[in-house]
Amino acid sequence: MTMKDAIASYVHDGDTVSLEGFTHLIPTAAGHEIIRQGRRNLTVVRMTADIVVDQLLAGGCVTKLVSSFVGNSSAGSLGELRRRIEAADPEPLEFEEYSHYGMICRYIAGAQRLPFHPLRSYAGSDLPSVNPGIRKVTSPYPGPDGAPEEIYVVPPVNPDVTIVHAQRADRSGNTQVWGLTGVQAEAVYAAKKAVVVVEEIVEDEVVRSDPNRTVIPSHAVHAVVACPRGAHPSFAQGYYDRDNAFYRSWSHISKDPARLRDWMAEWVYGTRDHAEYVAKQGEGFWAGLAVGEAMSLPVNYGRRL
């Protein structure tokens, strides 16, 4: 499926859309296509709301954000997000704040169709006072000292669609990830529909030669999109490195609304699709993000004689 068709088919105005990828394999190209297609009133769920979220905000796509970290990684600030939250400029942003493990537990509960998930966080924090989704319950079992035990719980999240980026998949969607696997599998299982974007689609035999590397099996996947370099400016382990210079520059671009508009006009609205975005950067640029080989040794799965 093309990215254009996948976004047209699976992302609708008003939907709750989860984009996951923890620093690694961020589905940026999918975010850009959502902006090009002009989706509105989305609730975006993303643990680390970073550059792609800032761009979706600037594209006017998002009315609500659910997140546990809002920042430009370790490289600075998100200008559009801060204007929306600090000054309601150009309009307010509804923001639901959790901690990282709170978000992970929401995906686990969502994936497993549980009513809630307990965790040993939030005790004494001000977060429950601004987020009614975080609630304290009494455990039905006695604590270690025999007395009743109180614990915080978070609600499940079941996005209309989860989009993740991965290194490779076969045609039916068996998806392999190596390096940081983040929370992608839980986010896919939590969703009603899942779109997997990959660096390359490979023959079935490639996947079957190493089934332990399959993080997301095809039964959880509704669409597979081949989109090389679709995680830029984040990285794909073994394919290309992180564009640290762009992360640093984003703090300056997004701080100035005019500069941000120009950037969006040139790089998102001004490119028909991600292939054009990649071509526009030029091969010299991509050579700068190239990585060398560090092959793992094969394992012997064995076969019955």
Partner 1 sequence: MTAAGTATSSELLSVVASRELAGRRTVFAGIGLPTLAASLAHLTVAPQLEIVYESGVCGAHPSHLPETIADAVLITGAEAVLSMATLFGSVLQGGHIDVGFLGAAQIDRHGNLNSSVIGDWDRPKVRLPGSGGAMEVMANSGEVFVVMRRHDPRSFMADLDFCTSPGPDRALADGITPRGAGVTRVITDLGILAREGVGEELRLVAVHPGVTVDRVRAATGWDLQVADEVTTVEPPTAAELRLLREDVDPGRVYLR
Q: Report helix angle 51-58 to 257-264, nearest 10.
A: 90
Scan residues 77-96 and list those touching partner 1 (CB under 8 A). 81-82, 85-86, 88
**β-pair type (161-169, 16-20):** parallel
CA 227/CA 144 separation, integer angstroms? 51
Q: With binding defined as CB under 8 A, does residue 69 bind partner 1?
A: yes
- Residues 179 and 103: their CA atoms lie apart, in Å, by 21
CB of 45 to partner 1, least distance (A): 14
Q: Is 120 in the site for partner 1 (CB under 8 A)?
A: yes
Size of site (CB under 8 A) for partner 1: 55
Amino acid of residue 131 = N
d(Cα 88, Cα 32) in Å, to the nearest integer?
23
166-185 binders of partner 1 (CB under 8 A): 179-183, 185
Neighbour count for residue 66 (Cβ, 10 Å): 23
- Min CB(123)–partner 1 separation in Å: 4
Residues 166, 138 contacting (CB under 8 angstroms): no
Helix (H, G, I), strand (E, B) or coil at 302: coil
Q: Cβ neighbours of residue 177 under 8 Å, at least 6 residues apart? A: 25, 166, 167, 184, 213, 215, 216
Helix (H) / strand (E) containing 161: strand 161-169
Tell me how far, at minimum, the Cβ of 273 lies from partner 1, in Å.
26
Q: Which is nearer to partner 1, 86 or 283 (CB)?
A: 86
Q: Does 124 bind partner 1 (CB under 8 A)?
A: yes
> Are 197 and 19 contacting, i.e. CB atoms less than 8 angstroms apart?
no
In the complex, the smallest distance separating the C-beta of residue 11 from partner 1, rounded to whole angstroms, is: 24
Q: Which is nearer to partner 1, 247 or 277 (CB)?
A: 247
Tell me the closest approach of the beta carbon of residue 10 to partner 1, in angstroms: 24
Cβ of residue 269: shortest distance to partner 1, in angstroms?
Answer: 27
Our finding on whether 73 is near partner 1 (CB under 8 A) is yes
221 binding partner 1? (CB under 8 A): no
Closer to partner 1 by Cβ: residue 74 or 300 = 74
Taking the mean position of all CA atoms in its chain, how far away is CA 98? 16
Regarding 277 and contact with partner 1 (CB under 8 A), the answer is no
Which residues contact partner 1 by CB under 8 A? 22-24, 48, 67-71, 73-74, 81-82, 85-86, 88, 97-102, 104, 108, 119-127, 130, 136, 143, 145, 149-152, 179-183, 185-186, 235, 237, 241-242, 244, 291, 294
